Structure 1
Amino acid sequence: MASGPMSSADSSSLSTLEELSDAFDSTLGRHDDSSSLGSDSELNGAAPYRQTDRYGFLGGNSAQDGSTTSCPRIHASLAQPPVELVRHREARWLEMTSHWEKTMARRYKKVKVLCRKGIPSSMRARCWPLLCGGQANMNCNQNKYKELEESPGDPQWLETIEKDIHRQFPFHEMFLSPEGHGQRGLLQLLKAYTVYRPHEGYCQAQGPVAAVLLMHMPAEQAFWCLVQISHKDLTGSWLPPQEAVLLDGEVFVALLRRVCPKAYKHLQKHGVGPLLYVTEWFLCLYSRTLPFPTVLRIWDAFLSEGVKVLFRVGLVLVRLALGSSEKLRDCTGVVETLEKLRSIPVRLLQEDTLMAEVNDVAVSDRDVARECRVQLAKLRKVRPDFRYSPEQRLPNAKAIFDAQ
Structure 2
Amino acid sequence: MEKKIIDDYEPGPLPSPRKMDRFGFLKQEINNPPDGLAKGREERRVRKWRKMIGVGGSDWKHYVRRKPHVVKRRIRKGIPDCLRGLVWQLISGSRDLLLMNPGVYEPYHLDFRGKLQFVLELKLKAKGDDMGAVGTQLVIYETSASELDIIRDISRTFPSHVFFQQRHGPGQRSLYNVLKAYSVYDRDVGYVQGMGFLAGLLLLYMSEEDAFWLLVALLKGAVHAPMEGLYQVGLPLVQQYLCLFDLLMKEHMPKLGEHFTQEMINPSMYASQWFITVFSYSFPFHLALRIWDVFLYEGVKIVFKVGLALLKYRHDDLVKLPFEKLIHALRNFPEDAMDPDTLLPMAYSIKGEPSALCPGDWTPTPSTVSRRLEELKQEYNKKDGKPSLSIEIKGNQKQTRLNDPWSLKVARSLVVVVVNPYCTKHLSATALKTSDLPVESRSSDLLLTPTAFGSHPEIFQVLT
TM superposition score normalised by structure 2: 0.65
**Does the 8 Å contact 2:42/2:80 carry over to 1?**
yes
Structure 1 equivalent of residue 272 of structure 2: 279
CA distance in 2, matches of 1:297, 1:381: 37
- C-alpha change, 1:361 and 1:81, in structure 2 (3 Å) is farther
Choose the corresponding residue for 1:299, options 252, 274, 292.
Answer: 292
Using the alignment, how far apart are the partners of 2:51 and 2:97 within structure 1?
A: 22
* Corresponding residue for residue 350 of structure 1: 339
Is the partner of 2:204 in helix, strand or coil? helix
Aligned pair 1:116/2:76, yes or no?
A: yes
Alpha-carbon distance change, 384 to 295 in structure 1, aligned in 2, over 3 angstroms: farther
Change (3 A) 1:78 1:338: farther
For 2:22, give the aligned amino acid.
R
Greater CA drift, 49-58 or 247-256: 49-58
- Higher strand share goes to which structure? 2
Matched, 1:90 2:97: no
Check if 1:377 corresponds to 2:371.
no
1:163 deviates by: 0.5
The match for 2:119 is none
Cα pair 1:320 1:344 within 8 Å, conserved: no
CA gap 1:178/1:350 in 2 versus in 1, 3 angstroms? same
Please tell me the residue identity of whatever aligns with 2:104.
K
Distance in 1, Cα, partners of 2:373 & 2:162? 38
Query: Is this contact kept in 2: 1:134–1:225, CA < 8 A?
Result: yes
Deviation at 1:77, TM superposition (A): 8.5
**Which position in structure 2 is the counterpart of 1:332?**
322
Cα distance in 1 for residues equivalent to 2:159 and 2:390? 40
Using the TM superposition, give the Cα deviation of residue 342 of structure 1 relative to its aligned residue in structure 2, in angstroms.
Answer: 1.6
Cα 1:106/1:84, change in 2 over 3 Å: same
Q: Is the 8 A contact 1:189 1:223 kept in 2?
A: yes
Separation (CA, whole Å) in 1 of partners of 2:212 and 2:282: 23
Q: Tell me what 1:9 maps to.
A: none
Q: Aligned ranges for residues 13-52 of structure 1 at < 5 Å? A: 51-52=19-20
Match of 1:132 among 92, 100, 108: 92
Partner of 1:38: none
SS state of the match for residue 210, structure 1? helix
Give how far 1:364 is off. 4.2
1:197 corresponding residue in structure 2: 186
Structure 2: distance between partners of 1:260 and 1:190: 39
Distance 1:312 1:57, change over 3 A: same
Other-structure match for 1:107: 67
Cα offset for 1:80?
6.9
Higher relative contact order (CA 8 A, sep 6+): 1
CA distance in 1, matches of 2:179, 2:277: 14
**The structure with more radius of gyration:** 2
**In structure 1, C-alpha distance between the alignment counterparts of 2:95 and 2:37, rounded to whole Å:** 30
Contact 1:312 1:361 in 2 (8 A): yes
Out of 240, 256, 264, the position equivalent to 2:233 is 240
Q: Distance in 1 between matches of 2:326 and 2:318?
A: 10
SS at match of 2:23: coil
Say whether 1:178 aligns with 2:167. Answer: yes
Tell me how far apart the structure 2 counterparts of residues 58 and 244 of structure 1 sit (CA, whole Å). Answer: 34
Q: Which digits, 9 at most, give the CA deviation of each residue in 1:23-72, with x for residues without a partner? A: xxxxxxxxxxxxxxxxxxxxxxxxxx962111101126526xxxxxxxxx
How far apart in 2 are the matches of 1:295 and 1:316? 14
- Paired with 1:191 and 1:304, the residues of 2 have a C-alpha distance of 26
Q: Which residue of 1 is the match for residue 301 of structure 2?
A: 308
- Structure-1 separation of matches of 2:35 and 2:371: 36
**Per the alignment, in what secondary structure is the counterpart of residue 264 of structure 2?**
coil
Aligned length: 322
Q: Give the superposition deviation at 1:79.
A: 6.4
Answer yes or no: is 1:365 the counterpart of 2:370. Answer: yes
Rounded to whole Å, the distance in 2 between the matches of 1:383 and 1:96 is 52
State the superposition RMSD in angstroms: 2.4
Q: 1:143-178 CA distances to partner (integer Å, 9 max, x unpaired)?
A: 111122123485221111001000001110000112
Identical aligned pairs, as a percentage? 30
Cα–Cα, structure 1 residues 188 and 216, in superposed 2: closer, same or farther, change >3 Å? same
